[in-house]
Amino acid sequence: MNLPDYETVSTRMADEHVLLVTLNRPQVGNAVNTQMGRDLLDLWNRLTEDAGPVRCVVLTGAGERIFCGGGDLKERNGMSRETWQRQHELFERMYWTLVDLPLPVVAAVNGHAYAGGLEMALSCDFIYASREARFALTEVTLGIMPGAGGTQNLPRAVGERRAKEILMTGRPFDAAQALEWGLANALHDPGEVLPAALATAGAIAANAPLSVRQIKKSVRYGGQMELRTAFRFEIEAYNHLVDTDDRREGVLAFNEKRKPVFKGR
């Protein structure tokens, strides 16, 4: 897939259908500055408009210690109110484009994820993390609050009461707690997080891509509805798959006792 050479983000195809995206500012903890906001917004928009061969995305950070330290506070030091708000509006668009991306996104949290970095991981579909990673939403200690989905995505992951404690204290918590509370799906030794995430992404990408997209849509939007309406929404998503070539291929492959070859149509 032909993507631009971004200044703050690197991309490469990890296999035929899996795109690896790496936050690439290791010298500053992969902190999100204005240029990274622009780069990621452009990337998520391109994948939304035309994903090409990509069926699953893995998002990680450069280096072994930090996934993403949040917003770049050195860049923000001395910013006027107007400049700060313009930057944050860019970040808002970038985060929501990630949340709405039709493709599944696996966060490979290779190190600490603080503030906007944790919000970015929470915006992905699920999280694999290093056993040495630490997490926090520290905005309250800086006189602000999470503004990229933290107060919404965190309670949906760990429950309202636990989320309030995390949000209001700003205290870090470790990977074992992240797993226990339901924020992380699995923990791995340092150096094994990315291979594990890529292996799972490969398993997802081997399945029918239209089915995977409909599942993501059904879970995300159905979870915001009352149960009966959500069930109807699920059935509408299901019915879109009945008359696809992939559905016919899946049934045929099962009966012929072979692996299906899905084309995404």
Mean pLDDT by groups of 10 residues along the chain of 265 residues: 92 96 96 95 97 97 93 83 89 94 97 96 97 96 91 95 97 97 96 97 95 93 91 90 88 88 88
Phi, psi of 30 (to 5 degrees): 55, 35
Catalytic residue among 49, 64, 92, 119: 119
In this structure, are residues 214 and 240 in contact, taking their beta carbons and an 8 Å threshold?
yes
Q: Pick from 184, 164, 167: which is nearest to 175 by CA?
A: 184
What is the pLDDT, as a whole number, of residue 149? Answer: 92
pLDDT at 74: 85
- Give the pLDDT score at 62: 96
User: What domains appear along the chain, each with residue ranges and CATH number?
Assistant: 9-206 (3.90.226.10), 209-256 (1.10.12.10)
Q: Residue 103: what pLDDT?
A: 97
What per-residue confidence (pLDDT) applies to 44? 98
Q: Give the Cα separation of 81 and 207 in Å (integer).
A: 47
Q: Catalytic residue at 139?
A: yes
Asked if 202 and 18 touch (Cβ cutoff 8 Å), the reply is yes
Q: Strands across the sheet with 105-109, in order? A: 9-13, 18-23, 56-61, 105-109, 126-130, 186-188
Q: What pLDDT, on the 0 to 100 scale, is given for residue 32?
A: 94
Type and span of the H or E element at 154: helix 150-158
